[in-house]
Chain A
Amino acid sequence: DAGITQSPRHKVTETGTPVTLRCHQTENHRYMYWYRQDPGHGLRLIHYSYGVKDTDKGEVSDGYSVSRSKTEDFLLTLESATSSQTSVYFCAISESISPAYNEQFFGPGTRLTVL
């Protein structure tokens, strides 16, 4: 199994509070991704990173920011959480060459509830 951990695994927070989710990998893969999973939508890409300090937006990036200061860590921040951001968040990684070609390996997920 790919070495990907996510923390926390579960979090309950209140509307308007900031939240940071962490993804940590031990595979030294260049590409890292954040997805959210919601019923009826499958997984949707929030942001991704193609190297340290190199990030780009995905399909549903509004309300989220990311940072990557080290190869192994990719942080997802909700600056002011809203109830619509209640979801399961997955981190994924893929190898450097031809990211579109390579399969992504997923972390265990973080269940976030915003009250």
Chain B
Amino acid sequence: AQKVTQAQTEISVVEKEDVTLDCVYETRDTTYYLFWYKQPPSGELVFLIRRNSFDEQNEISGRYSWNFQKSTSSFNFTITASQVVDSAVYFCALSEARNNDMRFGAGTRLTVKP
């Protein structure tokens, strides 16, 4: 079965610092999809990005950027110039094309201090 590892349990930074959240995955499938979700203190889960296994192009959206590297099975998420509103738990997830079982990492709790 597929597996997602987020080794960083908690990260604390000061506002305006850059921070990178790591995600390493395992899968035997050649077609798969990677996701990042954000869970702010209010508790809801918010979809941030999807990347498929055939598209290694990095993506930037405002202060957020994602680096997908198949060679290292990683899909890392960087927040540039962090803000207090970025404080949340961030989940990386993986789904394989052959099944409907999305696997989530354990999450990284990011705290941005003013």
A100→B100 contact, CB < 8 A:
yes
Return the contact of B52 from the options A48, A90, A101, A106 (Cβ within 8 A): A101
Return the contact of A45 from the options B35, B96, B102, B105 (Cβ within 8 A): B102
* Residues of A close to B6: CB separation below 8 A: 42
* Residues of B close to A99: CB separation below 8 A: 95, 100
How far apart are the CA atoms of A109 and B95 in the complex, in Å? Answer: 22
Return the contact of A100 from the options B44, B97, B104 (Cβ within 8 A): B97
Interface residues of B in 43-98 (CB under 8 A from A): 43-45, 47, 50, 52, 91, 93, 95-98
A103→B100 contact, CB < 8 A:
no
Q: Residue B17 at the A interface, CB < 8 A? A: no
Q: Residue A70 at the B interface, CB < 8 A? A: no
Interface residues of B in 17-52 (CB under 8 A from A): 32-33, 35, 43-45, 47, 50, 52
Q: Residue A56 at the B interface, CB < 8 A? A: yes
B104→A31 contact, CB < 8 A:
no
- The closest CB in chain B to the CB of A104 belongs to B102
Give the A-binding residues of B (Cβ under 8 A).
Answer: 1, 4, 6, 32-33, 35, 43-45, 47, 50, 52, 91, 93, 95-107
